[in-house]
Structure 1
Amino acid sequence: MKLLIGNRNYSTWSLRPWLVLRHFDIPFEDEVLQLSGEGWRETLAKRSPTGKVPVLIDGDLVVYETLAIIEYLADVFPEKQIWPADRYDRALARAAASEMHAGFTALRNHAPMNLRASHPGKVDADAVRKDLHRVETLWGELLTRSGGPYLFAEFTAADAMYAPLATRLRTYDLPVSDTAARYVEAIYALPAFQDWLSQALQEPWVVDDDEIDVIQGRVAPGTIA
């Protein structure tokens, strides 16, 4: 198997299936397709049916959407319990993952993932308050039910889906409860996440579209080293 991913520092959708593959010890290779620079869109268009990442290649099969990749892995490796084993929990996990897939647009738009950065105070909490309230409610209910440290006690695909959101809370120091803060710590403590993070911190590339100082006009595009 090969997973085509974007820059580790910024690519939220790439992080999600990568964590599943890495945490559940599924053999795979990855290849970074940069999300900036000369000709990057053309390169993506040649390698991905949608011109986006991630893309999973397994023999002749090409799976090009995050949740579809995760579901394919769950089908191929049922013994890994990528989703919770309990049917009730599995339904809740899939609902939570689908909500992340389709929602939280304010957090996505106002607080792009940037693992190398620390930008406390640069995101208006009022602009993302509704999303913060919803994620607090969702995480709180699931963590109370499971006892933590992950949404269904053990790490599952649902946690992989929320990992990028957890990084946003830390990068921008957004106001959250102690329960949410502990969950963010649990995500960061996961060995698979630490592996991704260590590689992200070594990347030299900058994607201006995901840099808050460029987005908010504090610095000009192309000036962040």
Structure 2
Amino acid sequence: MKLLIGNRNYSTWSLRPWLVLKHFDIPFEDEVMQLSGPGWREAIAARSPTGKVPVLIDGTLVVPETIAIIEYLADSFPDKPIWPTDRQQRALARAAAAEMHAGFSALRNHAPMNLRASHPGKVDPDSVRGDLHRVETLWGGLLERSGGPYLFGEFCAADAMFAPLATRIRTYDLPVSDVAGRYVEAIYALPAFQDWRNQALQEPWVVDDDEIDVIQGRVAPGTLA
């Protein structure tokens, strides 16, 4: 089983199924597909039916799209608690994951994931206030119900879906409650996440489209090293 992923420093969608595979000790290998440089789009298109990453390859089966990959893993490894075992909790976890998949566009647009960086104050809180309010409400309710440290007690696919959002809060020092802050720290404490982050910190590549200083015009494209 192989997972095609983008640059670890920036690729939010790649991080999500990778965490599921790693945390639940499912044997796999990964291959990084560059998200910049000459011919990068063509290289991904040659391997991915959607022209995007991540893509899971299992024998002759090619599965694109993060949620589809996670569901395939849950079906393939029913002994792994990828989703909560309780039916009602599982429904809530899937609802949270679907909301993350479709929502929080302000945070996506204004605060791109960048694990190597620390950019406090560079994202206007007003531009993401609505998303932060919703994530506080969602996380707070689920954590109160479960007792934490993860949304449903133990780490599951819903947490994998929200992990990139948690990194945005830390990278840009966004204003959140103590409850949300503790959840961010729980994500960073997860061994699988630490493994991904440590590899991201070693990557030499820069993707200008995901660098806040380029996006906001502080530096010219192609000048970050």
Task: Give me the TM-score of the superposition, normalised by structure 2.
Answer: 1.00
Take 2:45 and 2:138, find their aligned partners in 1: how far apart are those partners? 36
Question: What's the secondary structure of 1:25's corresponding residue?
Answer: coil
Take 2:152 and 2:45, find their aligned partners in 1: how far apart are those partners? 37
Take 1:47 and 1:146, find their aligned partners in 2: how far apart are those partners? 40
The answer for the alignment partner of 1:25 in structure 2 is: 25
Q: Residue by residue, what CA displacement relative to the aligned partner does 1:86-129 show, whole Å, maximum 9, x if unpaired?
A: 00100000000000000000000000000000000000100000
Query: Which runs of structure 2 are paired with 1:125-204 in the superposition (5 Å)?
Result: 125-204=125-204
Query: Which runs of structure 2 are paired with 1:1-225 in the superposition (5 Å)?
Result: 1-225=1-225
Take 2:78 and 2:198, find their aligned partners in 1: how far apart are those partners? 29
TM-fit CA distance, 1:200? 0.1
Take 1:68 and 1:44, find their aligned partners in 2: how far apart are those partners? 18
TM-fit CA distance, 1:81? 1.1
Matched-pair identity in %: 86
TM-fit CA distance, 1:43? 0.3
TM-fit CA distance, 1:212? 0.2
Take 1:47 and 1:221, find their aligned partners in 2: how far apart are those partners? 28
Question: What's the secondary structure of 2:46's corresponding residue?
Answer: helix
Question: What's the secondary structure of 1:67's corresponding residue?
Answer: helix
Question: What's the secondary structure of 2:31's corresponding residue?
Answer: strand
Q: Residue by residue, what CA displacement relative to the aligned partner does 1:133-192 show, whole Å, maximum 9, x if unpaired?
A: 000000000000000000000000000000000000000000000000000000000000
Question: What's the secondary structure of 2:3's corresponding residue?
Answer: strand
Q: Report the AA paired with residue 27 of structure 2.
A: P
TM-fit CA distance, 1:64? 0.3
Q: Report the AA paired with residue 57 of structure 1.
A: I
Q: Report the AA paired with residue 21 of structure 2.
A: L
Q: Residue by residue, what CA displacement relative to the aligned partner does 1:175-219 show, whole Å, maximum 9, x if unpaired?
A: 000000000000000000000000000000000000000000000
Take 1:127 and 1:73, find their aligned partners in 2: how far apart are those partners? 36
Take 1:54 and 1:145, find their aligned partners in 2: how far apart are those partners? 32
Question: What's the secondary structure of 2:79's corresponding residue?
Answer: helix
Equivalences, count: 225
Question: What's the secondary structure of 1:31's corresponding residue?
Answer: strand
Question: What's the secondary structure of 1:222's corresponding residue?
Answer: coil
Take 2:96 and 2:26, find their aligned partners in 1: how far apart are those partners? 23
Take 1:91 and 1:183, find their aligned partners in 2: how far apart are those partners? 21
Tell me how large the CA RMSD over aligned residues is.
Answer: 0.3
